[in-house]
Structure 1
Amino acid sequence: MIGLVFKELWGRKRRMAGSLVAVFLGVTFLTGTLVLGDTLAASIDGYFSSAYGKTDVTVRNATKVSDEPWGARGQIDASVLGKVRQVKGVANAEPTIEGSGQLLGKDGAIIQSRGPRTAGNWKTDPKLNPYRLAEGHAPRAPDEVVINKMFADEGHLKIGDRTAVLTPEKVPVTVVGISMFGDEEAFGETSFTAFSLEGAREHVAKGSDRISGVAIRADGVGQAELASRVRDVLPAGVEAISNKAQVEEGMSLVETGFLRIFRTVLAAFGGVALLVAAFSIHNTFAITMAQRTRESALLRALGAGRWQVVAIVGFEALVIGAAATLAGLAGGYGFAALLRQLFTRFRIGIAMEGLTVAGTTFMIAVPVGLLVTFVAALGPALKASRVPPLAALREVAAETSRPSETRVIVGAVFAAVAVGTVVFGALTEQMAMAAAGAVVTVVAMVVLGPVAARPVAALLGGPAARLRGVSGTLARDNASRNPGRTAGAATALMIGVGVVTLMTVFIGSLRASLEDGVAGSFKGPIVVDAGGNETGGFSTALVQDAAKLPQVSDIAGIGTGSMRVDDEPSTVAVADPSSLRRVLDLDVTQGGLNDAGTFAVSKKVADDNGWRVGTAVGVTFADGTAQKLAVGAVYNNTDITGDYLVPRTVWDAHTRQSLATKAFVVLKPDASVASARQALTTLAKPYGAPDIESRDEFVTAQTEDMAGFITVVYGMLILAIVIALLGIANTLSLAVHERTRELGLLRAVGATRPQIRSMVRWESVIVALFGTGGGLGLGVFLGWGLGSALGNPFAPAPVQMAVIAVVGAIAGALAAIRPARRASRLAILSAIAAP
């Protein structure tokens, strides 16, 4: 039986090529995404392992206010340093000072970065300092600094240049050194400007009584033991942690946060590619098993049992799956290298040097590749096993031309459940319900595909019949004649196009939500925008200076920060509520924002926690101070402020670096927008030159961070569509092989080669349009459902939809090139004589 399997495969090499390619591309996609996830995890682990140099123990504030692995902690009393140095086993201990510090480039503007923008002290002990000097010398005076090579290059700065650092006050400095983080030009995209200890105390810590922590090097004692000894001399609210524990803590936060999301997104795209590949494989086996009906019957007549027939087909699938999977593992490595370049190019994640392949990648990719191929072939195999032995003695139709009543009924039930679930989830804003409905919708689409294929193919083929005459008519009839085959070929494309359309609609909905939120809350024409970096921004003095401009009627600055609210790490907005209410309409439902000391929360948070105006909420600031804040207002519009609004008078009592990231400007009735923008641009230059934007420009800027990620997403989804088009091409090739005698007869009665080519091409276009149209409908429906479940408005993109439709038709024509050429070149007499 094994010999029969290999003889069957060898005799039908061309027929199985499409399945091999489909599995290969699917496994390549999956392996590549897994390798990229492993590489990113290894890179982050390497960064964390090097982040503290060869520090053995770190002393820090015990209050955790952020779930980000690099979230800043509050300062501690500088007197801790002296106590730590007296502990037995401490070889050396140096203070760590770190805070917001934005380096200005040669042009006087802030050097932008996606990572934290920090400043602090240069540690003199090389073992405690994760940075090393690549050029120049360490800072010796308070106005001398060492800067990362990455930001020196981006800011066009070199040794000896004069520039400034915003802390947030503007501090003029001289660059005396260029640093490297090991062999890297920076720690991820973290900008670190190193002052001398004296300079850091003056400009970052704002005094000599507070430090960020203490870095300790051990002398003849283990990290855990030394950390235990140091804890004994620390005051309340201060903790000691070993380097090993600190690295594990950081990696744990990454694994449960960013990296888990990253891996999930990549795995989802890998799943889409494999699902599309599975449909292509299933379609190939369905056609080939239908073509081998008499062969299966003959095996049964010679004594083979039903399960032996299933075993033959299953073994064929496993051989194909194994060969394609092994090739896909190698292809996945190359694909991961390509993805790494894309993510680096669009600055998504952190820099990834080299590729890391974990054992789990093989443990996942190999079984999945084999299983997908086997499961895809199982249905056709079971169908082949049911062929009666007598079928070997008579002509048997290759495939049924009409879907069964059972399929129609089951499909209708699935469709009703799917639509109802998605609509209910959308109307009640229950994301889990809408997502479950989306899965059922895909199942319903697969079941009902053959039911819809005949009438839809006839409808789509109408223009071809009118425009291309006999060739178009035959193409339409061929597509309608075997609805199961047409649906099978189109389903793979339908899923790929559906996911692309879903992403397009979903992202459009997010943008529309943001636009509606800003338009509904801010009526002014100008926004001073420093981006969303929590360690970035500008001094609140800029807001005070801007308020004095003759064109400005009202202005309010807003910043962001981290604190514990009701004992949960939370991101909060920081502003003067009484000023904010004059420029923003937050749709306050309870209380008011008239008082500068008002603590406000969103309606969702208030409802979830049972809070109302007057409720005392426990909060803890980064410096460890805990207190109660009474809710003074509840609001609906969270697009700009998020869920919590903390008054700046309260916030500034717990920080020495008060920053704003945005300022919303309302002009006087007779003021010119152009002149106001010019005045604000000039005023903002000493503050790092934040962007002066119109309201529309501000909305666009909020979605710019999506652009790079969206590009990579679309690039990965294109691969799924390519797999689907290969499936269409393979289906047409098999159909051409099946219709060899029919094509020979057409040639014999006068059909020309161009007519045969046209017939096959139009059949491919009809199938592609069926898949593309179904994918567009599926994507728009699910995009509406999932977007509405999140409370976003429905915002389809008609231009993108039209482009997808045109690309689908063109791709269908391209997929038919090879099958059409092969069909037109068949020798007439040989084709007529074919069995």
Structure 2
Amino acid sequence: MIGLVLKELWGRKRRLAGSFVAVFLGVTFLMGTLVLGDTLAGSIDGYFSRAYGDTDVSVRNATKVSDTPWGARGQIDASALDRVRAVDGVANAEPVIQGSGQLLAKDGTLIQSRGPRTAGNWLNDPKLNPYRLAQGRAPRAPDEVVINKMFADEGDLRVGDRTAVLTPARVPVTVVGISRFGDEDAFGETSFTAFSLEGAQRYVAQGTDRISGIWLRAAGGVGQDELASRVRPVLSPGTEAVTGRAQSEEGMSLVESGFLRVFRIVLGAFGGVALLVAAFSIHNTFAITMAQRTRESALLRALGAGRRQVVAVVSFEALAVGGVATLAGLAGGFGFAALLRQLFTQFRIGIAMEGLTVSATTFLITVPVGLVVTLAAALGPALKASRVPPLAALREVAAEAGRPTDTRIIVGSVLAAVSVAAVVSGAISDQMPMASAGAVLSLVAMVVLGPVAARRAAAIVGGPAARLRGVPGRLARDNATRSPQRTAGAATALMIGVGVVTLLTVFIGSLRASLEDGVAGSFSGPIVVNGGGNETGGFGTRLVDEAERLPQVRAAAGIGNGDVRVDGKIANVRVADPAALRRVLDLDVTQGGIAGPDTFAVSEKTADDRGWKAGSKVTVTFADGGRQAFTVGAVYGNADLAGDYLVPRSAWNRHTRQPLDTMAFVDLKPGASVAGARRALTALAKPYGAPSVEDRDAFVASRTEDMNGFIAVVYGMLVLAIVIALLGIANTLSLSVHERTRELGLLRAVGATRPQIRSMVRWESVIVALFGTAGGLGLGIFLGWGLGTALGNPFAPPAAQLAVIALVGAVAGALAAVRPAKRAAQRAILASIAAP
């Protein structure tokens, strides 16, 4: 049996090359994405293991209001430092001050970063300090700072230069040192500007009575847990002591459950799409080869082979191909991961990924998946081959069924009806889970109904070719319609790849339209001062006060971001003066009213989810541990700019010493010049780090800028899935050409020229590709509508991008046929006619 398998593989190696390539690319994709996830996790773990130096215990505020590792905790009483230092077993304890601190470049503009923009004090104990001096010295005077190397390079700053730090007040400083975080130029993309202790107290903590925490180093022979237990009795309520090990694990856990989890899911989904596409290519290859070997299978049965033995032969072939391709894919995955790492580095995700890391789990996932996918794809053709009766060896048999079975038609129709109903129902009722379930089911229905639709679809798509290209066009159309299962099998892989790309394109277009509608529906003014999307960035709130005094300005209002607990649940909130915000934004208040600057308000969605209404009592816990009871004064419908929670600026400022706005909306007096107002606001904003002064269209575009970068990465990764699909089309055509050797010879004998043969094969490929592309476009547009509508986004498919996708599908179909068409035209006439 093994000898027979090896002989079959060697004798049909060219036919199985397409399957090998499909498995190889699919495994390469999966391996690469998993290795990238491992590399990112290893890099983040390395960052957090070094984030606290050799700190054994940290004393900090016990109130947690954020699920992100960079989420700020409130300050604690500075008097805790003396009590902690007196604890037996403390070798050294240093106060730690950390807060917002945005470094300005040499030209006075803000140095942009995706990571937090922080400032604090330089720790003099090198064992507690995770940073080390690369150049210069530590700060001594209050206006001296050490900056990390990444941002020194980004801002064109050197030791001895004068610049400023926004804390949020503008603080002129002198750079006296440049630091590195271990061997890295920064902690990810975290900007850290280190003052002397006196400078940090003055500019960051805004006084000597409060600090962010205390970092402790244990004396010899005292463990971290022991030291933490000794320190806890001297701490005030609302303050806690945690070991350095626990703090590192906590940070890593937050990343694992948040950003890294989403990152892995997205990468895994792309790998799954690639393998799914590869599975269809593999299945189609084995289906054709087994159809061509019908008489061979019958001879095996006639010689005494059982059905299990026939299945075993095909299964061993599949495992051999899958095994070799998987091993090659493991090696290719490392190269692909390196390429992805460079790609993500270019888009600056905030973490420097040096080298590649791979876990044992990655191998345990990739190897079985590669083998199982190959075996599962070949199982259907193997079972079909085992059912061939022995008498089939004595007579001619059809290679493939001419039409789909009634069972396929009925089952496919039921699945299609249920999936469409689920998507439509989910979209109408805003039920994303139902719409998602319908989307998955629709993929299954598409696979089942593919051969049913293939004959009619190929005839329609091939109609123009038959009319415009004469005999080659008609033959191409007839070949595509003659074997609907083969046509559907080749087109389905492309349909999935195009469908995913189209779905994302429509979804992003709808999301962008939602943002545009949200801005247009909420803000009628012409100018927005945009501080960017950095969660720790922004500009001082005094900018809005100064803007309102400009002669062109009728009204201006700023919005900031923050994290709190609302009735015990962590929530990201918008911070603003509600009365001022009402003058520039239409919040569509549906309950209550914004009566003044102290109004606490929530969106309709939040009110419905939490069972609130105007007049409901809620308790807000701030980062510093303070609590305040609020009454819901208003419920509003337009949450695109105001968010789900609107906390009064007057209340927020009582619990922070660094109030920031991230956006300011400006409305002008009648007849005021927009251009003149923008110039005045730009000059006014320059001391605040020069945030962008944008018109409404530019503001909407900036809100989707990060999204565009992500989509570019997604498109780049999904290209591989489409490449696999096109290889499947090429492989199908090659096998089809081989099967039709005698037919092609007879065509040449009756006068067909080589260019006509090439044209026929090319047009057959284009027909298959257009069928797959059209099906993918239709499916992607429908699912994009359903999923987008379920999230409340308007349906806004971008016509230009969809046209490009359709064009690429047609062109790619022609390219996939180049080699099969060339081989078909080169066959000798007599040898082809004499072929068995």
- The TM-score bracket by the shorter chain reads over 0.9
Partner of 1:302: 303
1:273–1:720 contact (8 Å) kept in structure 2: yes
| Equivalent in the alignment of 1:752 | 753
Cα distance between partner residues in 1 of 2:272 and 2:358: 19
Could you tell me how far apart the structure 2 residues matched to 1:777 and 1:790 are? 20
Cα distance between partner residues in 2 of 1:544 and 1:719: 53
Equivalent position amino acid for 1:196 in 2: S
Structure 2 counterpart of 1:163: 163
**AA at the equivalent of 1:490:** A
* Cα distance between partner residues in 1 of 2:394 and 2:479: 27
Aligned residue number for residue 700 of structure 1: 701
- Post-superposition offset of 1:649: 0.4
Contact 1:296 1:384 in 2 (8 A): yes
Q: In the TM superposition, what whole-angstrom CA distance separates every residue of 1:128-149 from its partner, at most 9, and x where no partner exists?
A: 1010000000001000000011
Listed as ranges, the matches of 1:364-513 within 5 Å are 364-513=365-514
Shift of 1:629: 1.1
Q: Which residue of 2 aligns with 1:54?
A: 54
Contact 1:586 1:638 survives alignment (8 Å): yes
Mapped to 1, the partners of 2:122 and 2:265 lie a distance apart of 39
Q: Is 1:686 the equivalent of 2:687?
A: yes
Q: Report how far residue 109 of structure 1 moved.
A: 1.0
Give 1:206's aligned residue: 206
| Aligned counterparts of 1:617 and 1:84: Cα–Cα separation in 2 | 36
Task: State whether residues 418 and 441 of structure 1, in contact with CA within 8 Å, keep that contact through their aligned partners in structure 2.
Answer: yes
**Alpha-carbon separation, structure 1, partners of 2:167 and 2:235:** 29
CA drift of 1:32 comes to 0.4
In 2: Cα distance, 1:429 partner to 1:505 partner: 17
The equivalent residue for 2:343 is 342
Structure 1 match to 2:535 = 534
Corresponding position: 1:146 with 2:146 = yes
Structure 2 Cα separation of the partners of residues 833 and 557 of structure 1 = 83
Deviations 1:58-90 (A, max 9, x none): 100000010001211000000000011011111
Per the alignment, residue 289 of structure 2 pairs with 288
**Alpha-carbon distance, 1:448 to partner:** 0.7
Amino acid at match of 2:612: W
Partner amino acid for 1:310? V
Match of 1:450, SS state, is helix
| Counterpart AA for 2:253 | S
Q: Secondary structure at the match of 2:226?
A: helix
Q: How far has the Cα of 1:351 moved from its partner?
A: 1.2
Q: Counterpart of 2:129?
A: 129
Aligned pair 1:85/2:106, yes or no? no
Q: Deviations over 1:164-214 (max 9, x none)?
A: 001000000000000100111110110000000000000000000000000
Amino acid of the structure 2 residue aligned with 1:633? A
Q: Does the Cα contact within 8 Å between 1:348 and 1:709 map onto a contact in 2? A: no
CA contact (8 A) 1:419 1:441 kept: yes
Say what the alpha-carbon RMSD is for the aligned residues. 0.7
Amino acid at match of 2:371: L
Paired amino acid for 1:81 = L
Aligned partners of 1:348 and 1:708 also within 8 Å? no
- Counterpart of 1:119? 119
**Which residue number corresponds to residue 230 of structure 1?**
231
Compute the displacement of 1:533 (Å).
1.7
Q: Secondary structure at the match of 1:632?
A: strand
Q: Distance in 1 between matches of 2:372 and 2:257?
A: 29
Give 3-state SS (helix, strand or coil) of 2:234's partner.
Answer: coil
Residue equivalent to 1:106: 106
Kindly indicate whether the alpha-carbon contact (under 8 Å) linking 2:162 and 2:175 is maintained by their aligned counterparts in 1.
Answer: yes
Whether the 8 Å contact between 1:343 and 1:349 is mirrored in structure 2 is no
Query: Using the alignment, how far apart are the partners of 1:422 and 1:351 within structure 2?
Result: 40
8 Å CA contact 1:134–1:178 kept in 2: the answer is yes
CA contact (8 A) 1:563 1:621 kept: yes
Q: Which residue of 2 aligns with 1:16?
A: 16
Match of 1:2 in 2: 2
Task: Give the superposition deviation at 1:252.
Answer: 1.0
**Alignment-mate amino acid for residue 77 of structure 1:** D
Does 2:42 align with 1:31? no
The amino acid across from 1:662 in the alignment is M
Distance 1:615 1:802 in 2: 51
How far is the alpha carbon of 1:709 from its aligned partner?
1.2
Q: Provide the rounded CA distance (Å) in 1 between the counterparts of 2:581 and 2:807.
A: 48
Distance, in Å, in 2 between the alignment partners of 1:594 and 1:696 is 31
In the TM superposition, residue 349 of structure 1 has moved relative to its aligned partner by: 4.6
Question: How far off is 1:615 after superposition?
Answer: 1.3
Task: Summarize deviations over 1:428-469 as a string: whole Å, max 9, x none.
Answer: 010100000001101111111111111111111111111111
Tell me the percent identity. 78
Other-structure match for 2:826:
825
What secondary structure, in the 3-state scheme, does the structure 1 residue paired with 2:503 have?
helix
Q: Which runs of 4+ in 1 moved over 4 A?
A: none
| 1:97 and 2:97 aligned | yes
Unmatched 5+ stretches in structure 1? none
TM-aligned CA deviation for residue 215 of structure 1: 0.7
Q: Is contact 1:581-1:594 (8 Å) kept?
A: no
Q: Is residue 302 of structure 2 the alignment partner of residue 330 of structure 1?
A: no
Cα distance, 1:619 vs structure 2? 1.2
| SS of equivalent residue, structure 1 residue 232 | helix
| Superimposed CA distance per residue, residues 788-815 of structure 1 (whole angstroms, 9 cap, x where no aligned partner) | 0101000101111111111111000000
| 1:211 partner amino acid | I
Q: How far apart in 2 are the matches of 1:459 and 1:606?
A: 52
> Are the equivalent residues in 2 in contact too, given 1:98–1:120 (CA < 8 A)?
yes
Aligned to 1:173: 173
- Determine helix, strand or coil for the equivalent of 1:600: strand
SS in 1 for 2:641: coil
- Secondary structure of the 1:727 match is helix
Shift of 1:534: 2.5
Matches within 5 A, 1:708-747: 708-747=709-748
Residue 348 of structure 1: how far off its partner (Å): 2.1
Q: Secondary structure at the match of 2:177?
A: strand
Alpha-carbon distance between aligned partners in 1 of 2:626 and 2:364, rounded to the nearest angstrom: 49
* Distance across 1 between alignment mates of 2:215 and 2:397: 81
Q: Secondary structure at the match of 2:512?
A: helix
Contact 2:25 2:329 in 1 (8 A): yes
Q: How far 1:106 sits from its partner (Å)?
A: 1.0
Aligned pairs (5 A) from 1:549-698:
549-698=550-699
Q: Is the 8 A contact 1:59 1:241 kept in 2?
A: yes
SS of alignment partner, residue 429 of structure 1: coil
8 Å contact 1:619–1:628 — kept in the other structure? yes
After superposition, the C-alpha distances for 1:377-407 in whole angstroms (9 at most, x for unaligned) are: 0100010010000000000111111111111
Residue of structure 2 equivalent to 1:800: 801
Query: Which deviations, in whole Å up to 9, do the C-alpha atoms of 1:583-608 show, x marking residues without a partner?
Result: 00111111111211000011111111
Kindly provide the amino acid, as one letter, of the partner of residue 692 in structure 1: V
Secondary structure (helix, strand or coil) at the match of 1:202 reads helix
SS of the aligned residue for 2:106 comes to coil
Q: Confirm or deny that 1:72 pairs with 2:72.
A: yes
Letter in 2 for 1:90: V
Letter in 2 for 1:432: P
State the TM-score, normalizing by the size of structure 2: 0.99
Report Cα offsets for 1:525-549 as digits up to 9, x if no partner.
Answer: 0000001223211111111001000
Q: Give the C-alpha shift of residue 107 in structure 1.
A: 1.2
- For 1:641 and 1:3, the matched residues in 2 are separated by 71
Tell me, yes or no, if the aligned pair for 2:115 and 2:350 is still in contact at 8 Å. no
Which amino acid is 2:406 matched to? E
Mapped contact 2:58–2:241 kept (Cα < 8 A): yes
Counterpart CA distance in 2 for 1:696 and 1:450 is: 47
Q: Distance in 2 between matches of 1:301 and 1:262?
A: 54
> Unaligned regions of 5+ residues in structure 2, if any?
none
Measure the CA separation in 1 of the matches of 2:575 and 2:469: 67
For the residues of structure 2 that align with 1:707 and 1:607, how far apart are their CA atoms?
A: 32
1:486 partner amino acid: T
- Cα distance in 2, alignment partners of residues 566 and 231 from structure 1: 28
